[in-house]
Structure 1
Amino acid sequence: MTKAAEIDIASVSKIYGHTTAVHAISLKIPAGSYCCLLGPSGCGKTSTLRMIAGHESISSGDIRLGSKVVTDLPPARRGTAMMFQSYALFPHLDLVDNVAFSLKMKGVEKEERRRKALDMLKLMQLEPYATRRPAQLSGGQQQRVALARALITDPEALLLDEPLSALDPFLKIRMRAELKKLQTSLGITFVHVTHSQEEAMALADIIVVMNDGRIEQAASPRTVFERPATAFVARFMGDHNVISGRTVETDANGITIEVNGGGRFQAIDGKGEIGEAADIAVRTDRVRLRETAYAGLGFTGIVQNVEYRGSSVKIVVNGAGVEDFTVIISDTEYFATPVKPGDAVPLSWNADDAIVLGRIQH
C-alpha cells in the first residue's frame, strides 16, 4: 500500500466568472489523518475537494501532495482517488470489472487486474458477490464497491464527496464505523466532505469548518466543539448559544457586552475594545434552570418551546434582548420540575462557560 501524503493547500482560490467560491484558503492536512471539510451547502467545501482531486482547475495558489506540487497535474497523475456521492458504478459490469476499471484504463493485464480487484473485494467483505452487478446490491454494498474501486489505484489520499448522504440513518452509522476502521488500517490520508456535524465529529482527526468560501476554524473535533473560533462555528456546531452585542467594559479578566435589549453579559476568556461589536458563546448543556444568576452570567426569560429528546430535553427561551437561547438538560432533571411555554424561568451559568468568539475579517 502506498504511504500517506500530507496535503498542503497554499492560498488557493476558485473563481467562477464574477463569483469567488473559495477565497485564498491555506490548510495543511497531516499525512495519514482523517480530515472532514464541514459546512452548509455552497460554502466551498466540494470545490476545495475537487481542486485537490484535479477535477476543478485552481484560479490561484498551489496544492502540494507530499513533496510534489500537483496544481497543474491531471487527476490520474496526482496520487489521489475520488469517491463520488453517486458512487457512479457501471450497471452492465460485474463487481470485479467495476473495481478493476481504472487498472484496465492503465493497460494492466487482465489476470493481474482481476487478482487485485478480488483482493479489494475481500478487504471490503464483498468477495461472495464478485459476479453480481451493482443493481443486485444494497446501498451499503454499492458504497463498498465504490470504495474498492477508488482504493485499487493505491492512492496516497482518498477524497470522499458526501459518501454517506444516500444511505438511511442506521446504515450511515454502520458505514461511518467502517470508514474509520478502513482509514485506520490503510493509514492513508482521507479528506471527506460533509454537511453533517455528527458525521464530522464521529470520523475526523481534524475538522475544517467552512463558510462562504473561507475557513472559519480547522482543529480537532473536541476543540471545535468546546472552543468554537467564531460565531458561525458556534452556531453551526449547534452546541453553543451566541450572544451578540457591543463591548461596554473590559478588564484583565475579560469583557462585558451589552445587547440591544439592554441585557449585559460577561466573559472572562477573551479581549475586546470598548464600543466594538463582540460575540459571546455559552454552551447549551452548561446552562442551569431556576438558579438566580450572578451579574452578567444569566437572565430571566420566557420559555418558547420544549422538545423531548429521550435522554435529554431542549428548552428554548427568550429574554433580556436574547432570542432563541437554548438550554439542554437531562430528562431526569426536566421531569422532576417541568416547564412549559409561557413560563418565566431564571437561567445561569458559570463564568468559565462563557467565551469570547473571534471574528473573521471579510
Structure 2
Amino acid sequence: MTKAAEIDIASVSKIYGKTTAVDAISLKIPAGSYCCLLGPSGCGKTSTLRMIAGHESVSKGDIVLGRDVVTNLPPARRGTAMMFQSYALFPHLDLVDNVAFSLKMAGVDKPTRRARALDMLKLMQMDGYADRRPAQLSGGQQQRVALARALITDPEALLLDEPLSALDPFLKIRMRAELKKLQQQLGITFVHVTHSQEEAMALADLIVVMSDGRIEQAASPREVFERPATAFVARFMGDHNVISGHVTGSADGVVSFDVPGGTTLSAYGETRPVGAPIDIAIRTDHVRIGESTDRGLGFTGLVTNLEYRGGTSKLTIEGGGISEFTAIVTDKALQATPVAIGDAVPLCWDAGDAIVLGSPTA
C-alpha cells in the first residue's frame, strides 16, 4: 500500500452563488490518522470532503496532500479514493469487475487487474463471493466491495461519505469496528463524514465539529467530549448542560455571572469583562442531587421529568431561570435522595466541572 499523507486544508471556502457552504476553514489532518468530519446537515462537512476528493471545485484557498498542492487536480491524480454513501456499484458486473473497474480505465491488463481485485476482495473477506453481483449481497457485503474498489488504487487517503448510514443499527456497530481495524491495518489516512456523535467517538483520532460552514472544534474525541470549545459543540455532542448569562465579576480565575431569572453561578476560566455574555457547560453525569452549595456551583429547581434507565436515572429540572437542566444520577444516589416529579431538589457540581466555553474558531 502507498504510505499515508497529511492533508492540509488552507483557508478553504466553497461558495454556491450567494451561499457560503464552507467559510475559510483551515485544518491539518495528520498522516495515518482517522479523521471524522462531524456536524448536522448543511454544516459543510460533505462539501469539504468533496473538495478534498476533487469532486467539488475550491472557491478560495488550497488543499495540500503530502507535499503536493492538489487544489486544481482532477480526482484521479490526487492520490485519494472516495467511497460514496450509495456505494455506486455497477449492478451488471460481478464483484471482481466492480473492484477492478478503475484499473480497467487506467489501461491495466485483464489478468493483472483481476488478480489485484481478488487480493482486495480477500482483504475484505469477500473472495468467496467473487462471481456474484451486487444485488445478491447484503448491505454490509456491498460496503466491503465498495471499500475494496476504492482501495485498489493504493490511495494515500481514503474519503468516506457517511458510509454506515444505510446499515441497520447492529450492523453499523460491527462495520465501524471493521473500518477502524482496516484503517489501522493499512495505515493510510481516513477522512469520514458523519452526523453521528457516537460513530465519530468510536472511530476517530481527530474529530472536526462543523457548524454553518465553519470549524467549531478540532481535537481528540476525549477532548471534544470533556472540554467542548463552544456552546454549539457542548450541545451537539450531548451529555452537557449549557447555561448562559452575563459576567458580574472575575477574581482569582473564578468568573461569576448572573442567569436571567435570578440565579448567580461561578466557573473557573479566563477573565471576562463585567457585562460580557458567557456560556458554561456542565456534564450531566457530574451533577449531584440533595447537596446545596453557596459557592455558585449549583441551584435548587423543580423536577419536571424522571426517566428510569436501568443503572441510572435521568432527571430534568427547572429553576432560577434555568430550563431543561439534566442530571444523570446513579440508583445509589437516587435511593439516598428519593425524588419525584414536582419535588424541589438542590443540585451541585464540583468547581472543575463547570467549563467556560469560548467562541467558534475560524
Instruction: Give the alignment's TM-score, normalised by structure 1.
Output: 0.98
- Which residue in the other structure is 2:169 paired with? 169
Distance 1:103 1:87 in 2: 18
* 3-state DSSP of counterpart to 2:167: coil
**Secondary structure of 2:125's aligned partner:** coil
The aligned residue for residue 2 of structure 1 is 2
- Range that drifts further, 107-116 or 308-317: 308-317
In the other structure, the counterpart of 2:298 is: 298
Give the corresponding residue for 1:256. 256
Letter in structure 1 aligned against 2:217: Q
**1:126 matched to which residue of 2?**
126
Q: Distance in 1 between matches of 2:65 and 2:46?
A: 18
Give the alignment's Cα RMSD to 1 decimal: 1.2
Which range moved further: 308-317 or 94-103? 308-317
Question: What do the CA deviations read for 1:19-57 (whole angstroms, capped 9, x no partner)?
Answer: 101110000000000000000110000000000000001
Distance 1:326 1:75 in 2: 47
* 1:54-73 equivalent positions in 2, closer than 5 A: 54-73=54-73
* One-letter code aligned to 2:292: T
Shift of 1:184: 0.2
The answer to whether the 8 Å contact 1:269/1:352 transfers is no
Q: Distance in 1 between matches of 2:124 and 2:86?
A: 18
Q: How does 1:119-268 map to 2 (within 5 A)?
A: 119-268=119-268
Following superposition, the deviation at residue 112 of structure 1 comes to: 0.5
Superposed displacement of residue 183, structure 1:
0.2
> 1:280 corresponds to which residue?
280
Percent of pairs with identical residues: 75
Question: What is the aligned partner in structure 1 of residue 34 from structure 2?
Answer: 34
Q: What letter corresponds to residue 95 of structure 2 in structure 1?
A: L
Q: Indicate the SS of the match to 1:116.
A: helix
For residue 85 of structure 1, report the CA deviation from its aligned partner. Answer: 0.7
Quote the Cα distance in structure 1 between the aligned partners of 2:279 and 2:271.
11
Query: Does structure 2 retain, via aligned residues, the 8 Å contact 1:270–1:355?
Result: no
1:93-142 deviation per Cα after TM superposition (whole angstroms, max 9, x unaligned):
11111111111111110101100000000000011111111111111111
Number of equivalences = 362
Q: Tell me, yes or no, if the aligned pair for 2:300 and 2:319 is still in contact at 8 Å.
A: yes
Tell me which moved more, 288-297 or 166-175. Answer: 288-297
Query: CA shift at 1:361, angstroms?
Result: 7.1
- In the aligned structure 1, how far is the partner of 2:114 from the partner of 2:331? 55
Structure 2 CA distance, aligned partners of 1:320 and 1:185? 53
- Contact 1:96–1:130, Cα closer than 8 Å, also in 2: yes
Cα deviation digits, residues 220-240 of structure 1 (max 9, x gap): 001001100000001111121
Q: What is the Cα deviation at residue 160 of structure 1? A: 0.4
Deviation at 1:348, TM superposition (A): 0.4
**Would you say the 8 A contact 2:12–2:60 is kept in 1?**
yes
2:139 maps to amino acid: G
Q: Which runs of 5+ in 2 are unaligned?
A: none
Structure-2 change in CA distance of 1:311 and 1:100 (3 Å): farther
Equivalent residue letter for 1:104: K
Deviation at 1:306, TM superposition (A): 1.9
